[in-house]
Every structure is written in C-alpha cells, then in structure tokens.
C-alpha cells in the first residue's frame, strides 16, 4: 500500500494547489501567469473524476446487482434462520458488503495506478513541449470542480465530526487508519495511539493476571480489535502457561483479515496470527456479519455451504491452518465456525430472554447482540468451545476447501 498511498498523496497535494490557483485566476478575472503544469494537473484530476464516476456507477448499478442476481439468496441466510420477509434485504446487503470487501481495494489501487500513468504521460508531454489538444480543455474544468468538491467534502466531514460525533464515523475510521502507525512512517500526523495504548493495555492485563483467581478478556470493536490482537500477542509471548490459560480475546467487526492483513502483511503476519490462536487455545472469538463491509471473518475464510453445513478454512487449535469442522448453529441462529461467530442480520424475533435491535445492523451494535456475552464467556474459558461434528469427507479425504491464506471473501 505504500506506493499507491504516496502517489495519491502527491497528486492530491499538487491538485489542491493547482486547483486553488486556477480558481483564484478565474474569480479575480486577472491575467495571472501560472505555471503551465497547473493546467495539466487539473486536467489529470478531470480524467480521474471521469474514471471514478464510471467505476462507481459500474459497481453500484451493474456489478453489485449482478452479484446479487447470480447468487440469489445465500444459503447461509437460511441456515441462520433469517425470516423469509427479511431475506431479500439481507441478501442485497450481503452482496454489497461482499463486493466491497473483495474489490474496493482493487478499485482504489486501479485508480491510483491510472492517475500515476496519466501523470507520467502529462510530464512527458510537458518535457517534450507538446501541447495538449484543445478538445481536452473541458477536463481541466472538471478537474477543478472535482478538487473543489473533494475539499468541500473534507471540510464538511471535519465540521460534522466536530458538531455531531455520531455522524463522523467515516472520518473517524480514516483517522484510525492514519494514526495507527508510528510517526516515523508519516511525521505530519498526531502521535500514534497504538504505540501508547497497546503496551498500557498489555501491562494492565498482566497486572490483573497476577491474581490466580482472575481471568482477563481483551475485547475490541473495529480498530479496537486490532489493538486487542496486538496486546494479546504481546502477552501470549511473555506470560507463563498458567497465566495464558486465563487470557482471552474477542474481536467484533475488526477489519483484520480483509484489510490490515492485506495492506500490512509484515505487521499482521498470517503465521503469527495462527500461532496466537493456538496459544490462546480457542479463546479467540471473532464476531462478524456478512452484511458488514468493514469487518468480515477474523479467524476463518473460504466459506462455502455444502450439504446444509457451513464449511471453511481457518486457524486450528494447534496453531496451524486447515479445514474446519462444520459450523455449529446455536439457538439465536448464530453460526460458529472455528473461532468466528457469524451473526444473523437482521436479528431474529425478540424474546424476553435477550436484547434485540430492529433492522440491518451491518457494522453497528455488536455489543448489543446477545452473542457478545456468549463470546466473552467462551473467551474467558468459563465454557468449553462448542462441539462440532466432523467435516464431510470428499474423495481426497479432506473437507473439500483449499487451505490457502485468507482472501477476505465472505
């Protein structure tokens, strides 16, 4: 992710400067002699706007509906016991979230590469002294418009986050991403909170575990799940076996597998996470929803429904990777596959025995779901992991699913 991020940052910085200068020239109606490259930069962003519009319309109007029509109602919704009247809405949400988890990073990478290629061509034309055809002049105006809309959108996001924090979720997610890494990687941002939070969290848990009668569960939602994983990894490497047996981990809606493992494989290494799962002895529980764009499975992947059972590949109790037993379905319709708890969305009918929230929850309200309490209980080691029947055998004697590293596919 380093190269496309630097390319986008460079083009964005140059684009804001050029767009502001070109806009000032038109507003002042003055003969401001700007560098010739300014018009080329706005021309580039005009092409980027056109490309982004085409890709966005294709994704929203073509790709996602086609994915929904091709797959129909996922069989997993029936396994969860989703009510028939809610299945269509849930299937649409599954299709959109699955498409975004699988292709959104590729779209961003493709646009970054296209803008970089366009910048290379324009630089070559500038060095060679070749004039841009007048037919492309409207793209320059579109570029100024695109940059202005982007700047206005960013300012609105900052204002909304300051005045109504509940509506600033997207900006908060971006800030979490930027400020997660040490300042050595990007000195122009506030200090990394992870450098402070992870050691302090680990030290606090270590102090609690000194009491042999106490159990500690590190639970994190969204990026908090990443902090909990890092703290658990630090603790698992240092604690004695007796102390480690009283340590558990719960992640909910964490963008660990599809996002951070992809973008930063040296930090969240696949073998290291498998080893951590084995060291915790199945006390790493991950809450996830198929309708959640940001948080997919944390410990399992390559999911498929075969003979009415949800199968997949994931981390095994011995710290290795391989096919998992068929998912266990508990009473509220949650499918427990390995360490992941796939929650039905929307939630089943309300009862007096558990909490309930109406409608699709997607990335919200994981703590409200009654499975949260059960996951914490399992992570604390107060209950044994669910008993699973053996996976169905295939001709080759395995579960019929590949054991390659995570792909993020729901």
Distance separating alpha carbons of residues 96 and 195, to the nearest angstrom = 34
d(CA 254, CA 223): 6
Query: Pick from 346, 327, 347: which is nearest to 335 by CA?
Result: 327
| pLDDT number for residue 405 | 45
Quick: pLDDT tens for 381-397.
Answer: 888 877 544 444 443 33
pLDDT confidence of 47, banded at 50, 70, 90? confident
Q: Residue 113: is its pLDDT beyond 70?
A: yes
Mean pLDDT of 87-114: 83
| pLDDT: which is higher, 410 or 244 | 244
Cα distances (angstroms) measured from residue 33 to each of 29, 109, 199: 12, 35, 54
In this prediction, residue 186 carries a pLDDT of 65
**Alpha carbon distance 119, 7 (integer Å):** 10
DSSP H or E segment with residue 405: none
Higher pLDDT, 259 or 400: 259
pLDDT in tens, 130-176: 777 777 778 878 888 888 888 888 888 788 877 876 666 667 767 77
Assess contact for 406 and 256: CB atoms under 8 A. Answer: no
Strands 328-329, 321-323: parallel, antiparallel or unpaired by DSSP?
unpaired
Contact 399, 311 (CB under 8 A): yes
How confident is the model over 312-332, as pLDDT tens digits?
A: 999 999 889 999 998 888 877
Contact 42, 19 (CB under 8 A): yes
- Could you tell me the two tokens for 260? 């951070």
Query: Is residue 251 within 8 Å of residue 288, measured between CB atoms?
Result: no
The helix-helix angle for 64-71 and 84-128 (nearest 10°) equals: 140
Q: Using CA atoms, how far apart are residues 303 and 328, in angstroms rounded to an integer?
A: 14
314 compared with 349, residue with greater pLDDT: 314
pLDDT over threshold 50, residue 68? yes
**3-class SS of residue 215:** coil
pLDDT digits (tens, 9 = 90+) for 247-304: 999 999 888 888 888 877 888 888 999 999 999 988 999 999 988 888 888 999 988 8
Strand order in the sheet with 247-252: 216-221, 247-252, 284-288, 340-342, 335-337, 328-329
Average model confidence (pLDDT) across the chain? 81
Q: Could you tell me the two tokens for 48?
A: 């980027």
Distances (CA, A) of 299 to 98, 235, 240, 283, 332: 17, 19, 24, 12, 21
Sequential DSSP letters for 47-115 = HHHHHHHHHHHHIIIIIHHHHHHHH-S-HHHHHHT--HHHHHHHHHHHHHHHHHHHHHHHHHHHHHHHH
pLDDT band of residue 354 (cuts 50, 70, 90) is low
Classify 397 in phi/psi space as left (phi over 0), alpha (psi -120 to 50) or beta. Answer: left
**Whole-structure pTM value:** 0.78
Q: Which two three-digit tokens encode residue 209?
A: 């575990």
Mean pLDDT of 114-132: 83
């Amino acid at each position: 992710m380093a190269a496309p991020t630097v390319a986008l940052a460079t083009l964005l910085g140059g684009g804001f400067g050029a767009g502001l200068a070109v806009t000032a020239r038109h507003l002042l109606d003055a003969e401001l002699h700007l560098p010739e490259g300014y018009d080329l930069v706005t021309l580039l962003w005009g092409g980027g706007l056109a490309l982004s519009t085409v890709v966005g319309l294709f994704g929203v109007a073509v790709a996602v509906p086609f994915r929904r029509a091709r797959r129909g109602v996922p069989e997993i919704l029936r396994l969860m016991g989703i009510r028939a009247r809610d299945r269509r809405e849930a299937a649409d949400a599954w299709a959109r979230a699955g498409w975004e988890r699988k292709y959104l990073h590729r779209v961003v990478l493709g646009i970054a590469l296209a803008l970089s290629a366009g910048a290379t061509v324009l630089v070559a034309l500038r060095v060679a002294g070749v004039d841009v055809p007048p037919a492309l002049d409207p793209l320059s105006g579109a570029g100024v418009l695109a940059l202005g809309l982007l700047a206005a959108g960013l300012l609105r996001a900052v204002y909304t986050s300051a005045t109504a924090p509940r509506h600033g979720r997207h900006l908060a997610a971006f800030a979490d991403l930027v400020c997660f890494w040490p300042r050595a990687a990007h000195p122009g941002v506030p200090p990394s909170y992870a450098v402070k939070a992870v050691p302090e969290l680990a030290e606090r848990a270590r102090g609690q575990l000194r009491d042999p009668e106490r159990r500690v569960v590190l639970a994190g939602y969204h990026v908090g799940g990443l902090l909990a994983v890092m703290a658990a990894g630090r603790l698992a490497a240092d604690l004695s076996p007796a102390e480690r047996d009283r340590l558990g981990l719960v992640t909910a809606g964490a963008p660990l597998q599809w996002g951070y493992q992809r973008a930063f494989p040296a930090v969240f290494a696949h073998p290291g996470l498998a080893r951590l799962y084995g060291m915790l002895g199945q006390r790493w529980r991950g809450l996830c929803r198929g309708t959640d764009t940001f948080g997919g499975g944390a410990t399992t992947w390559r999911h498929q429904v075969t003979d009415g059972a949800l199968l997949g590949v994931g981390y095994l109790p011995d710290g290795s990777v391989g096919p998992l037993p068929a998912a266990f379905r508990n009473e509220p319709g949650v499918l427990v596959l390995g360490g992941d708890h796939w929650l039905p969305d929307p939630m089943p009918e309300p009862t007096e025995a558990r909490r309930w929230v109406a409608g699709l929850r997607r990335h919200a309200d994981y703590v409200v779901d009654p499975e949260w309490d059960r996951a914490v209980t399992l992570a604390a080691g107060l209950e044994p992991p669910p008993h699973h029947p053996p996976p169905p055998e295939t001709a080759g004697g395995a579960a019929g699913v590949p054991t390659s590293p995570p792909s993020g596919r729901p």
